[in-house]
A and B are shown apart, each in its own frame.
Chain A
Amino acid sequence: GAGVSQSPSNKVTEKGKDVELRCDPISGHTALYWYRQRLGQGLEFLIYFQGNSAPDKSGLPSDRFSAERTGESVSTLTIQRTQQEDSAVYLCASSRGGVVRAYEQYFGPGTRLTVT
């Protein structure tokens, strides 16, 4: 079946503008994660959704970052008033979740965000 998809693949925006990044997880996956990966760096956890539970927002770097998920499907990561340090690849991942003890995370191709 289809894997995790993300859009857009690339986004160039001016400093101060808002951006929305979209993630379509694998169908049936209850868990969805957002990560930020700066050039040559590791995976920085941002936020995690699990079913109908309250999301784990502990990784969001500031109140300019927010995310929503509609049920167990699409998620949107919003960055308001973008700054140059927001430039990075934003990766989304999904997994079947803990109910079936299936923890493997399947990553999307990422959105490369460049703030000029």
Chain B
Amino acid sequence: GENVEQHPSTLSVQEGDSAVIKCTYSDSASNYFPWYKQELGKRPQLIIDIRSNVGEKKDQRIAVTLNKTAKHFSLHITETQPEDSAVYFCAAMNSGGSNYKLTFGKGTLLTVNP
């Protein structure tokens, strides 16, 4: 089955700096890679996703890059703000089969210091 590794487990940055979280996956058939944000005490919410037919996707201060050859993808947050503080989870899925199950990484606790 799929295995997703996520690094780092914790990340502390100063407000205004950039933050990068990296994930690797094991199943070369995986083709859908979402990122979820979970604020303290709240439910996870999708913030951005990318499919394997593109290498990069951007949404305002958030971007995700995908390297299919190396089987890794990364979340980039620029101009970080205190409200970006949360746990971020990456995930991978093979949407070509009939099982639409996401395999999640273990999460990264991002702290943005004002």
Contact = CB atoms under 8 A, between A and B. Distances in A.
Contacts of B101: 33, 45, 48, 56
Interface string B70-114: 000000000000000000010001010011111111110000000
A50 B101 CA distance: 10
B49 A53 contact: no
B100 A31 contact: yes
Interface in A77-116: 91, 95, 97-98, 101, 103-105, 107-110
A43 B43 contact: no
A42 interface: yes
Interface in B14-51: 32, 34, 36, 43-46, 49
Contact of A107 (B1, B43, B103): B43
Given A43-B44, A91-B43, A50 B100 contact: yes
Contact of A105 (B1, B102, B103, B105): B102
Contacts of A62: none
Contacts of B106: 41-42
B103 A50 contact: no
Contacts of B1: 58
Nearest to A102: B100
Contact of B104 (A45, A48, A56): A45
11 contacts: A41-B107, A42-B89, A43-B89, A45-B101, A48-B100, A56-B99, A103-B34, A103-B49, A107-B45, A108-B43, A109-B43
Interface of A: 31, 33, 41-43, 45, 48, 50, 53, 56, 58, 91, 95, 97-98, 101, 103-105, 107-110
Nearest 3 Cβ contacts at the A-B interface: A107-B43, A42-B106, A43-B104
Given A43-B44, A43-B104, A108-B43, 8 more contacts: A41-B106, A42-B106, A43-B107, A45-B103, A56-B101, A103-B95, A104-B34, A104-B49
